[in-house]
Structure 1
Amino acid sequence: MMRVVLWNLFLFLLPFVLTALWAAWVRRTSPREAVLRSWSQATLVGAVLVVSSLLVWRFSTGDAPGKTYIPPAFKDGQVVPGRFE
């Protein structure tokens, strides 16, 4: 679960980092409105990336409804992974 949270945080922050790099590069030649507009676009792109990754995660993990989850357990000195039955 932590991996999913970190991945979504990365996807959300990536447009902001790219926008900050771009804004630093063009700050001398661009008007202030263009820089502010780029931050709002970065927010929108970040939100779209997070929502799309959550949708992909939702439809690519888990199992059919109604199944029982069997958690991981030790058996004969080995870890048996969790599963649905």
Structure 2
Amino acid sequence: MIRGLLFHLIPLLLPFVVYGIYLYFNKKLGGEKTWKGRSVAISTLIGLILMAVSLVTLGVLDGDPKDGVYVPPRFEDGKLIDSTVLPSGKD
């Protein structure tokens, strides 16, 4: 859960962190000192693109087997049995 959350939040927030670091060092050199609307919009757009890329990457590289028989979660003897994917038996 935490890994999935971080996998999507880090790419979204990364452009803001990079731009904040840029502003910090630019301020020390006497340059621009504030966030501007266009810069925030561009950072948001880049963050959304990076988040979409992370979603696609997670979907493509997910380690679950792609072939087999899905068995949904069920109750047996009063206990919840997790869902599983059984091998298809094609060998």
User: What range is the shorter-chain TM-score in?
Assistant: 0.5 to 0.7
* Paired residue type of 1:68: Y
TM-score (norm 1): 0.64
Q: Percent identity?
A: 26
RMSD over equivalenced CA pairs, Å: 2.9
After superposition, the C-alpha distances for 1:11-58 in whole angstroms (9 at most, x for unaligned) are: 2111111111112222442386x8432222111111111110011111
The alignment covers a number of residue pairs equal to: 74
- Which structure would you say has the larger Rg? 2
Cα distance per residue 1:52-81 (max 9 Å; x no partner): 00111112213337721588xxxxxxxxxx
- Structure 2 unaligned runs (5+)? 74-82, 87-91
Correspondence 1:35-74 to 2 at 5 A: 35-61=36-62, 62-64=64-66, 67-69=69-71
Which of the pair is proportionally richer in helix?
A: 1
